[in-house]
Amino acid sequence: MRNIRLAALVVSAAILVSAAASAQMFPGVGFSTAPPTADELALKRLMTENALERERNFQRLKKLTDERDELQIRSMILSERQRLETADLDQELKKLSIQNSIAGEKERLANEPREAQYKSLTLDNNLTSERARAALTDERGAYDKLALDNNMASEKLKMTMADERSVFDKLYLDNNLASEKLRLSLAPQREATEKLRVDNDLKRQQLDAQVIKDDAEKASIDMEMRRIDFEERKLRYEAAQMDHKTVALKDDLEVRSQKEKWKAEANREPDYVLEPFKDGRLVVSDRRIALNGVIISGTADYVTERIEYFNNKSETLPIFIVIDDCPGGSVMQGYRIVKAIKASKAPVHVVVKSFAASMAAVITTLAPHSYAYPNAVILHHQMSTMVWGNMTNIKEQLELAKEWYKRLAEPVAEKMGVSQDEMVKEMYKHNSEGNWEEFADKAKKLHWVDNIVDDIRETGVVKQPTSEAPVFKWFFNQKEEVDPKGERYVTLPRLDPFDFYYLYNPDHYYR
């Protein structure tokens, strides 16, 4: 799409410049407005260049925007991958926390019966102590009461108290022993809990270390992405600089190429005028058909197809059949050309530049518009034929030939203002073989051609011709020969009828 838009802009600019140049070089021809000034041309050229530059900048900005969007998408994908990887670690952490909670709850449930037993033993010990204290209080009261009465009772009381104390000590020791046993029984659970806590702390530290490591890797990746982004921007900038230089070089090459093309072309349109002959000048456009050489099978197709094509393009602009050198040829092919000329809605103009004989002369004479250079030769004669077979076949073919000649010669004689027999007599009067040739300025008086023209403008030739000059082609294809006298010579090519060599040749090298 970009190339199409650029090509359209270049073509538009070329059309504007070409139209302006044509308007200045050929005022009044094909243009109805005044030619633009140099400032207007410069403004149009500047507008075209600005449009081209805006298009290039748009394409560069679009490319950078696409690259930025692509990098953003890649960054989002990378962030999503890191999030998914971190999510796994978060799930593992949550799982470990739940396991720790479950283990703590199990430990609490396992310790509840032991703590209940410990509380029960503590209550029993307290009850026993309280009973002992109460008993001791009673005994002391009895002691105080009996102390006055009997020392023996006092001593007995002391012994009783000693026994009670022994029991109390034994109970106290039993309580301590039970408490130590309970503590020892709870120790493995506490060690397991502590170990689980330590393991959890270790895993938490490992997880924190992994998070720190991931953050460091993420920071490193981010830094690397920034570095890559910077490198990419640097490369894009350098590429843009190279593209700018390349575009500048291409533009310079295109300008040079275009200049060469412009130099090889006329850079103007052919002149299409309704009245091509004016003031002795004939203006021929590219609606042109060449009729040269012998008219053979296929010549009528070549000519009539082009007449139809030009009619389909325009039924008002003239068509030109240009005869440089045509000795005539097929009667049926020539007759089709005559009919196509008469049937054409667009006017057909026949132009003879060098030589038109026989069927070509008939085409020229019967054309509604005909022109010739003054020294062009036009030749009329009776139709010739080759017949074979038995006498009857020969007679039949001769009658057919007479009928054909009558159909072709009578219109020519009618245009000359004479009868067919009178025209034939004049043929043999001018030449013993019946070949009546005249230069065009004299042929005009005989009505063989309508107009004598000194200036034929071929405006349809808008490209520089590249064909090789015939003299070089002929010369380099010739082989120098030696005659019996030992003199070198070169054989000249055969000339067309009624042509002569006008050549300076003192040593007879050309023969």
Tens of pLDDT, residue by residue over 7-26, are 454 445 544 545 444 444 44
Look at residue 30 in the predicted model and tell me its pLDDT. Answer: 41
| Both structure tokens of 255 | 């300008």
Q: Does 86 share its domain with 232? A: yes
Q: Which of 96-110, 255-269, 392-406 reaches the highest mean pLDDT?
A: 96-110
Q: Does 197 share its domain with 294? A: no
> Which of 263, 288, 305 is where one domain is finished?
263
Question: Which runs of consecutive H residues, i.e. helices, occur in 317-467?
Answer: 331-343, 359-366, 391-416, 420-430, 440-443
Look at residue 88 in the predicted model and tell me its pLDDT. Answer: 72
Bridge-based pairing state of the strands 377-380 and 319-326? unpaired
Q: Does 242 share its domain with 313? A: no
Indicate the average pLDDT of the chain.
77
Judged against a pLDDT cut of 50, whether residue 304 lies above it is answered with yes
Judged against a pLDDT cut of 70, whether residue 320 lies above it is answered with yes
DSSP-derived secondary structure letter, 453: -
Kindly state the average pLDDT of the residues 503-511.
67
> Which of 217, 237, 263 is where one domain is finished?
263
Q: Does 183 share its domain with 319? A: no
Look at residue 500 in the predicted model and tell me its pLDDT. Answer: 60
Judged against a pLDDT cut of 60, whether residue 503 lies above it is answered with no
Residue 268 within any structural domain of the chain: no
Residue 120 within any structural domain of the chain: yes
> Which of 263, 295, 326 is where one domain is finished?
263
Q: Does 378 share its domain with 489? A: no
Kindly state the average pLDDT of the residues 35-43.
81
Domain CATH code at residue 387 = 3.90.226.10
Q: Does 9 share its domain with 147? A: yes
Residues 355 and 498: beta-carbon distance below 8 Å: yes
Least confident of 5-19, 256-270, 463-477: 5-19
Q: Does 191 share its domain with 131? A: yes
Residue 271 within any structural domain of the chain: no
Q: Does 351 share its domain with 285? A: yes
Q: Does 81 share its domain with 196? A: yes
pTM of the model: 0.48
Residue 399 within any structural domain of the chain: yes
Residue 450 within any structural domain of the chain: yes
Cα distance between residue 414 and residue 425, in whole Å:
15
Look at residue 416 in the predicted model and tell me its pLDDT. Answer: 86
Look at residue 388 in the predicted model and tell me its pLDDT. Answer: 57
Q: Does 67 share its domain with 184? A: yes
Could you read off the pLDDT of 342-370 as tens digits, one per residue? Answer: 999 999 999 999 999 888 999 999 999 99
Residue 188 within any structural domain of the chain: yes
Residue 270 within any structural domain of the chain: no
Residues 398 and 370: beta-carbon distance below 8 Å: no
Cα distance between residue 129 and residue 140, in whole Å:
16
Judged against a pLDDT cut of 50, whether residue 472 lies above it is answered with no
Look at residue 19 in the predicted model and tell me its pLDDT. Answer: 47
Number of H helices and E strands in the chain, helices first, is 10, 12
Q: Domain limits at 72?
A: 2-263
Task: Look at residue 206 and give its three-state secondary structure.
Answer: helix
As for how many domains the chain has, the answer is 3
Place of tokens 């962030």: 79
Which neighbouring-strand residues pair with 277? 282
Q: Does 168 share its domain with 248? A: yes
CB atoms within 10 A of CB 478: 12
Look at residue 192 in the predicted model and tell me its pLDDT. Answer: 76
Q: Does 111 share its domain with 249? A: yes
Look at residue 375 in the predicted model and tell me its pLDDT. Answer: 93
Residue 250 within any structural domain of the chain: yes
